[in-house]
Amino acid sequence: MKKIIVSLSIISPLLFAFNCTTSVPLARPSSKVSDISPSIVNYSPNNANIPNPTSSSGKVTIDQSQKIAFMSNRSGFWDIYNMNIDGSNVQKLTKDDMKTPFAFSISPDGQKIAYISDKTGNSDLWIMNLITKEVTQITDTPLGEEGSPSWSADSKRVAFHYNSNIMTNKIFKIMQINYPFIKSQSTIQTLISDVSNSLLHPSFSPDGSKILYSVNDLTKGTSYLHLYDYPTKKDIEITTRDEQPINGSWSPDSKKIIYGTVNNGIFQVNTNLTGRIAIGTFKNIKGTPFFSPDGNKITIARGYGSISDSIDDCNVWIMDNDGKNPQKITTEGGISLNWYKVSNSSSSTVITPSYPNQPTSNPSSNSGSSGGSPSNPYAVDPNDPLLNP
């Protein structure tokens, strides 16, 4: 696997409608990740660890402070909807009439959606304010495509992947952009880059110490998950290539990773790579499973047949965190999931991260390079949605 460091996002103004900034490169033997070092934040909703897999009665109690968001083409085109966690009260959030289902991410404060839309003809990153319904286009890249956006724990950054469509200069990146987005002032940083393997699904742990990402080997047609630990600067491959993982997400306490596979169902593994177990018996998972905010349940998109042939037939399911008591909660289709706490502005309770010791930028011997580390180095959020089947 041949990877390169790209410490400066040198992208033509025709590709991105905002400025770029330098990050200090960090050399490693296997993967290359720019040294935009996020701080370790104390993000522990209610200080509760995720429960070990246990069965419950399976009965779904409606919690008005939580919603599940998903994509559906029930109107004839793809858009983002949300609903109660029992499948009731379905509401349409976007009106983009997309041709394809894309990934999206709800911010931890419950007030914004970062999503990919093809309504302008190419796949670009947009942000919608769920309170005001204002929509902002973030990228405009006719020669590239963005995907799998993910919010930071403080709702101030969005990570996403970028694939160049220039055949003579193929490059794959995981990047991040500051929010609020201010044209001509906002900056974009390259976190990871590669010239031979597709990089997808950035997923930062809630405590900010790690980044999970998926690698697609384009020559062998295999995929696998990587985990990079910022404090130790170690990068490890956490799945076997036989597993064919799609992509993963984090438990609320940052101690476990759950991921779906192409043919073998759902698995869970501790971040120290112990305790790998299968979750449930479903084999036809489409995309990424996600924990509920309290870690007691899991939501999945489930369909039939091959990934490319069955996205119209997918529906949203929830089940206990051990895979038992599965329940289908949509009947008109659903894929690309987020389970989130709604905003205080919607008169519901939301748990937001606290930062008792806000750090400054990471000092470095290379600090003389232009730009340096971001002024707010918090890691981006784990709730990376699936880049859809």
Q: Give counts: helices (H), strands (E), the chain.
A: 0, 27
Decide: helix, strand or coil at residue 345. helix
Q: What is the pLDDT of residue 21?
A: 39
Query: Residue 359 is inside which H or E element, if any?
Result: none
Rounded mean pLDDT, 317-326: 94
Rounded mean pLDDT, 183-206: 85
CA atoms of 224 and 215, how far apart (whole Å): 6
Of 58, 101, 36, 127, nearest in space to 298 by CA: 58
Q: What is the pLDDT of residue 230?
A: 82
Query: Are 273 and 239 spatial neighbours (Cβ–Cβ below 8 Å)?
Result: no
Q: What is the pLDDT of residue 43?
A: 29
Concatenating the DSSP letter of every residue in 126-192 gives EEEETTT--EEE----TTEEEEEEEEBTTSSEEEEEEEE--GGG--EEEEEEESS--TTT-EEEEEE
Which range (129-133, 172-176, 235-239, 363-367) has the least confidence?
363-367
Q: What is the pLDDT of residue 52?
A: 54
Per residue in 250-261, pLDDT (tens digit) is: 999 999 999 998
Q: What is the pLDDT of residue 23?
A: 34
Q: What is the pLDDT of residue 203?
A: 83
Question: How is domain 19-46+62-346 classified at the architecture level of CATH?
Answer: 6 Propeller (2.120)
Tell me, what amino acid is at 245?
A: P
**Residue 9 confidence class, pLDDT cut points 50, 70, 90:** very low
CA atoms of 208 and 374, how far apart (whole Å): 15
Taking all residues of the chain, what is their mean pLDDT, rounded to a whole number?
A: 74
**Residue 57 confidence class, pLDDT cut points 50, 70, 90:** low
Rounded mean pLDDT, 305-324: 78
Q: Is the pLDDT of residue 133 over 70?
A: yes
Per residue in 100-120, pLDDT (tens digit) is: 999 899 998 999 999 999 999
HSE value, Cβ hemisphere, 13 Å, CA-based, for 382? 31
> Residues near 260 by Cβ (< 8 Å), separated by ≥ 6?
245, 246, 247, 266, 285, 286, 287, 288, 289, 300, 386
Q: What is the pLDDT of residue 310?
A: 59
Rounded mean pLDDT, 200-227: 87
Decide: helix, strand or coil at residue 344. helix
**Residue 175 confidence class, pLDDT cut points 50, 70, 90:** very high
Please give the angle made by the CA atoms of 247, 250 and 255, to the nearest 5 degrees: 130
Q: What is the pLDDT of residue 64?
A: 80
Cβ-based neighbour number of residue 230 at 10 Å: 23
CA atoms of 193 and 34, how far apart (whole Å): 9
